[in-house]
């Protein structure tokens, strides 16, 4: 066995142990440990990715000394390693961009607790990406939920505590359904390892026995994870949680936490049930319908918002809708489009949150539209970054959002019933996206009219916040890379999905 | 025939009914404490279901006593292990929910989540 094969396991363990370690360190040291951990794990993921691309096949890593049907294992392919690397990059940049907000908004003496949560969150995300065991996945889903709740409520005010409570309630409903679905599947197949379950499910599907329990179990798991990742009717907690938590939390929550659950759902589709069986079941129609409703309703809500951060949060609801619509198409192209959209949305949404905070910094910390007038002149880099993010969200060519919309449209074409609804929903959603994002861009580039005073508005040069400026530049570059050279990324996702099953 | 199945598996049926009760309580109750009670009913129902599925009539708990090591003597130990793990998860989640409830109660002197939301909107921050 090559040494590189240990890296996925080591990265999970490293982030897991750095959590408790941070709880006894001072805030400053906890921050250093956290940064080091993210960088080291990013490097290890890159090494793993290189190794798996070289060998061209996924490998299984046995945890402990028990072989397949009994022991626990992790399974690493191209898609997993690439996701781990990507998550590390986004997390690093989000932490970098929100460095000053964290120091201002989190109570002195509680700083290190924040890093405990971030480390545990990273650990659970990595475990969700790599694990090959369904019950382990459930346990790490719960760890993910708890640490995300901590990230929301670390900034103590009424809004965040209420949002954290709502988030917990919704998440617990989702994990209850997920757990029940897993129990059903375990009873039907007698296994907990994903590959073994798939074998048994294949036999069940071929003989046609236990058809209804199988579909029920698939439905429970899909709905559970959909609730947890804030698909449209279950999004009530989201605007407050993203709108009022500290900047790094909002960026991490919107770009990573919900994506972790979605990645697990893809895993269940491909590795546990088998995508042919999922495609034949009616569950994907439900996901498709709710995805489309979410695309429209999320954007409509965003148009009504007067608070820039809540607007970005509602835009997340719409984007999650896109992803589920891609699953709902029931074809491999649809799933590839969804995964690409996951990547593109993560990169863009965290960019938007960091840029929006740069704009509000220049407007006396007020997130209201009126006060943001001309903010792009007061903080030029944030203005440019926000424009890039907006154009990407709307789907301008050159930026990453364009490619994902193109992929969705291509996946839909040729579909017997779903082609028309998908294309219409895409068109409406693009127009709605354009309305609220362009409204904001125009607003921040309108010079302050004579007679109007922005209270505490001041010019913020990029020099004053070097960390945020660096994060913004990296995000813009990342977005352009994803938009301009999408071919390798799409190839990678395609190869990864082939290895995934 | 189907009716007989339901009667024979009455334990599983009870577990599902309890799950429904817990789920709807967690979703619909306004009072936070009642929500948490709903959460616990829901989780416990799942454990009941798992435990029933692992039980085999006439066999004993998988603890080796008097040197009997035959597989035939014991029930399936994996669901019991899953239940234990699940209990740990639900205890920690319940503790977190209760602490959030305390925080909210200290601030707003009510357990009604909707009232807290309306008050927050009125404050308009």
Within 8 A of A187 by CB-CB distance, chain B residues are: 53
Tell if the CB–CB gap between B97 and A172 is shorter than 8 Å. yes
pTM: 0.95
Q: What is the DSSP string of A364-405?
A: TT--BTGGGTTHHHHSHHHHHHHHHHHHHHHT-TTSHHHHHH
> Containing domain of residue A463, as a range?
282-501
Q: Give the ipTM.
A: 0.94
What does the alpha-carbon distance between residue A27 and residue A192 come to, in Å, rounded to a whole number? Answer: 40
Within 8 A of B34 by CB-CB distance, chain A residues are: none
Q: Per the domain annotation, does A324 fall within a domain?
A: yes
Within 8 A of B32 by CB-CB distance, chain A residues are: 165
What does the alpha-carbon distance between residue B98 and residue A319 come to, in Å, rounded to a whole number? Answer: 33
Within 8 A of B35 by CB-CB distance, chain A residues are: 169
Q: Per the domain annotation, does A192 fall within a domain?
A: no
Q: Yes or no: say if A298 and A318 are a contact pair by the CB < 8 Å rule.
A: yes
β A59-63/A72-76 pair status:
antiparallel
Every domain of chain B and the residues it spans: 2-123
What does the alpha-carbon distance between residue B56 and residue B62 come to, in Å, rounded to a whole number? Answer: 11
Task: Tell me the shortest Cα–Cα distance from A292 to chain B, in angstroms.
Answer: 24
How far does Cα A415 stand from its chain's mean position?
27
Q: Per the domain annotation, does A304 fall within a domain?
A: yes
Name the B residues in 58-77 with CB < 8 Å from any A CB.
none
Q: Per the domain annotation, does A262 fall within a domain?
A: no
Tell if the CB–CB gap between A153 and B100 is shorter than 8 Å. yes
Tell if the CB–CB gap between A180 and B26 is shorter than 8 Å. no
SS3 B52: helix
Q: Per the domain annotation, does A264 fall within a domain?
A: no
Q: Per the domain annotation, does A122 fall within a domain?
A: no
Q: Yes or no: say if B11 and B43 are a contact pair by the CB < 8 Å rule.
A: no
When divided into structural domains, chain A yields a total of: 1
Return per-residue pLDDT of chain A as tens, 501 residues. Answer: 789 999 999 999 999 999 999 999 998 999 999 999 999 999 999 999 999 999 988 999 998 888 878 888 999 999 999 999 999 999 999 999 998 888 888 888 888 999 999 999 999 999 999 999 999 999 999 999 999 999 998 888 888 999 999 999 999 999 999 999 999 999 999 899 999 999 999 999 999 888 899 999 999 999 999 999 999 888 888 988 898 899 999 999 999 999 999 999 999 999 999 888 888 888 999 999 999 999 999 999 999 988 999 999 999 999 999 999 999 998 889 999 999 999 999 999 999 999 999 999 888 888 888 888 888 988 899 999 999 999 999 988 889 999 999 999 999 987 888 899 999 999 999 999 999 999 999 999 988 887 777 767 778 777 888 999 999 999 999 999 999 988 999 999 999 998 887
Q: Per the domain annotation, does A214 fall within a domain?
A: no
Q: Per the domain annotation, does A368 fall within a domain?
A: yes
B44–A contact, CB cutoff 8 A: no
What sign for the dihedral angle of Cα A342, A347, A350, A355?
A: negative
Question: Which residue of chain B is at minimal alpha-carbon distance from A154?
Answer: B100
Of A430, A449, A478, A447, the C-alpha closest to A383 is A447
Find all residues with CB under 8 Å of A130, minimum gap 6, and list them: A8, A9, A12, A74, A75, A76, A80, A84
Q: Yes or no: say if A68 and A193 are a contact pair by the CB < 8 Å rule.
A: yes
The CATH topology of domain B2-123 is: Helix Hairpins (1.10.287)
């Amino acid at each position: 066995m090559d040494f590189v094969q240990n890296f996925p396991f080591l990265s999970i363990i490293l982030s897991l142990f750095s959590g408790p370690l941070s709880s006894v360190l001072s805030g400053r040291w906890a921050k250093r440990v956290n940064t080091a951990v993210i960088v080291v794990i990013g490097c290890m993921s890159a090494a793993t990715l290189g190794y798996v691309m070289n060998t061209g096949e996924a490998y299984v890593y046995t945890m402990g000394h028990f072989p397949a049907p009994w022991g626990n294992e992790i399974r690493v392919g191209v898609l997993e390693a690439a996701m781990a690397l990507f998550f590390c990059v986004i997390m690093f940049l989000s932490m970098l961009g929100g460095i000053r907000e964290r120091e201002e908004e989190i109570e002195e003496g509680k700083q290190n607790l924040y890093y405990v949560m971030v480390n545990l969150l990273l650990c659970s995300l990595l475990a969700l990406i790599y694990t090959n065991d369904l019950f382990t996945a459930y346990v790490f889903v719960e760890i993910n939920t708890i640490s995300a709740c901590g990230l929301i409520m670390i900034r103590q005010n009424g809004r965040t505590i209420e949002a954290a409570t709502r988030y917990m309630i919704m998440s617990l409903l989702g994990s209850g359904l997920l757990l029940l679905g897993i129990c059903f599947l375990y009873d039907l197949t007698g296994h907990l390892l994903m590959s073994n379950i798939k074998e048994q499910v294949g036999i069940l599907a071929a003989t046609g026995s236990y058809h209804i329990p199988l579909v029920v179990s698939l439905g429970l798991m899909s709905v559970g994870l959909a609730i947890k990742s804030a698909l449209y009717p279950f999004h009530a907690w989201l605007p407050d949680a993203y709108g009022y938590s500290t900047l790094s939390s909002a960026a991490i929550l919107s770009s990573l936490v919900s994506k972790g659950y979605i990645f697990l759902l893809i895993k269940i589709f491909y590795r546990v049930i088998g995508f042919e069986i999922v495609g034949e079941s009616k569950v994907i129609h439900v996901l498709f319908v709710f995805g489309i409703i979410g695309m429209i309703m999320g954007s409509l809500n965003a148009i009504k918002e007067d608070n820039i951060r809540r607007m970005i949060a509602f835009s997340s609801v719409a984007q999650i809708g896109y992803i589920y619509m891609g699953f709902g198409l029931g074809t491999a192209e649809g799933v590839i489009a969804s995964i690409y959209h996951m990547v593109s949305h993560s990169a863009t949404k965290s960019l938007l949150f960091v840029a929006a905070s740069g704009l509000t910094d220049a407007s006396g910390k007020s997130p209201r539209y009126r006060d943001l007038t001309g903010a792009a002149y007061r903080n030029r880099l944030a203005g440019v970054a926000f424009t890039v993010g907006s154009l990407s969200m709307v789907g301008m060519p050159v930026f990453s959002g364009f490619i994902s919309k193109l992929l969705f449209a291509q996946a839909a074409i040729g579909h017997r019933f779903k082609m028309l609804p998908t294309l219409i929903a895409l068109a409406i959603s693009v127009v709605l996206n354009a309305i609220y994002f362009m409204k904001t861009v125009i607003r921040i580039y309108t010079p302050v009219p004579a007679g109007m005073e922005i209270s505490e508005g001041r010019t913020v040069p990029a020099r004053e916040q070097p960390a945020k400026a660096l994060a913004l530049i990296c995000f813009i570059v990342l977005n352009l890379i994803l938009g301009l050279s999408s071919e390798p990324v799409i190839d990678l996702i395609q190869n990864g999905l082939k290895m995934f099953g | 025939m189907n009716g007989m199945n339901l009667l024979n598996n009455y334990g599983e049926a009870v577990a599902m009914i309890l799950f429904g009760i817990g789920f709807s309580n967690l979703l619909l109750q306004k009072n936070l404490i009642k929500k948490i009670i709903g959460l616990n009913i829901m989780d416990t129902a799942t454990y009941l279901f798992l435990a029933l599925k692992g039980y085999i009539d006439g066999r004993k708990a998988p603890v080796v006593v008097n040197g009997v090591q035959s597989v035939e003597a014991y029930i399936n130990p994996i669901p019991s292990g899953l239940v234990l793990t699940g209990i740990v998860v639900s205890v920690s989640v319940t503790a977190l929910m209760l602490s959030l409830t305390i925080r909210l109660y200290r601030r707003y002197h009510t357990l009604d989540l909707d009232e807290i939301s309306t008050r927050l909107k009125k404050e308009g921050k």
